[in-house]
Amino acid sequence: MKQPSILYLIVGSFAFLIAGFVVTVWLPGFLKDPQPTEFAVRYNDVQLEGRDIYIREGCWYCHTQQVRSIEVEVGTVRLRGDIGPESVPGDYVYQKPVLWGTNRQGPDLSHVASRPYATKEWHIIHLEDPNNVVPGSVMPSFEHLNDRDMDALSEYLMALK
């Protein structure tokens, strides 16, 4: 039996790659140009610095920032449904990168600033010793962050309405 030419492999592979890219990456962006919602925040400099610390310390490995449609009214941090409203593309229009996350060792933080107990001071105390504020928490302490970083990080968290 004759083997096909290597040219088929080259052309086929690239056709396969380009088709996949066009349909699943380019097309979604082309079809939808989301308008900013009330949750889309243009971060100020301090909040952006805090966001960089959030990325640097890997907070997003354990905390998601996306509320799925099926968990609205159900998702619980302390009280039933306090996870907040469903996330939509318009929430993220000013974010680069987005921090949706894929794992929850801790609760979702999309709307963490809207929880009644969460103030900037609460966040600082919680970041310094999570287990003292929430007994049973497995979150590490971030007391090694300097004051400036701690301030920026808690400012950022307070921007997640």
Partner 1 sequence: MRGRTSTIESFHGEWKLMRSDQQEAPSLQAAQPTRPTEEKAAAWFLYSAVFWLAVPGIAGLIMAVFLFAPYVQDWLPMWARPYIQFGRLRPVHVNLALIGWLSMVYASSMIFIVARLTRAPIYAEKLARANVVLWNVVVAGALVSLLLGFNQGREYAELVWPLDLLLIVCFAILAVNIWGTVFRRTEKRLYISVWSFMAASLIFPFIYAIGNVVWDTSGALTGMNDAILNYFYVHNLFNVWFTTGAMGLVFYLLPKLTGNPIWSYRLAVWGFASVWTGQHHLLYGPGPEWLELLSVSFSILAAVPNTAFAYNFFKTMQGSWNKVVTDVPLRFLAMGCLFYVATCFQGVSQSFRGFNAQIHFSNWVIGHSHLAFVASYSFFAFALVYHLLPRLMGRPLFDRRLMEWHFWLIAPSLIAFMVTLWAAGLIQGENWLTGGIPFVETVKAMKPYMFLRLVTGAAMGAGIAVFVYNTLLSLRTKPNPAPVAEQVA
- Within residues 78-137, the interface with partner 1 by CB under 8 A covers 78-81, 86-89, 91-107, 131, 134-137
- Report whether 112 contacts 119 (CB < 8 A): no
DSSP string, 2-58: PPPPHHHHHHHHHHHHHHHHIIIIIHHHHH--PPP-TT-----HHHHHHHHHHHHTT
Site residues for partner 1, window 7-66 (CB under 8 A)? 9-10, 13-14, 16-17, 19-21, 23-25, 28-29, 31-32, 34, 55-62, 64, 66
We find the least distance from the C-beta atom of residue 58 to partner 1, in angstroms, to be 2
Asked if 148 touches partner 1 (CB under 8 A), the answer is no
Please tell me the total number of residues recorded for the chain in this structure: 161
Cβ distance to partner 1 smaller for residue 3 or 121: 3
For partner 1, give the closer residue by CB, 46 or 52. 52
Q: Report the half-sphere exposure of 96 (CA within 13 A, side-chain side).
A: 2
Q: How far apart are CB 76 and partner 1 at their closest, in Å?
A: 5
Task: Kindly state the smallest distance separating residue 80's Cβ from partner 1, in Å.
Answer: 4
91 to 41, 54, 98, 143: CA distances (angstroms): 8, 18, 10, 31
Is the backbone peptide bond immediately before 107 cis, with ω within 30 degrees of 0?
Answer: no
The residue within the footprint of partner 1, chosen from 74, 114, 119, 161 (CB under 8 A), is 74
Q: How far is the CB of 120 from partner 1 (least distance, A)?
A: 21
**Shortest CB 47 distance to partner 1, Å:** 15
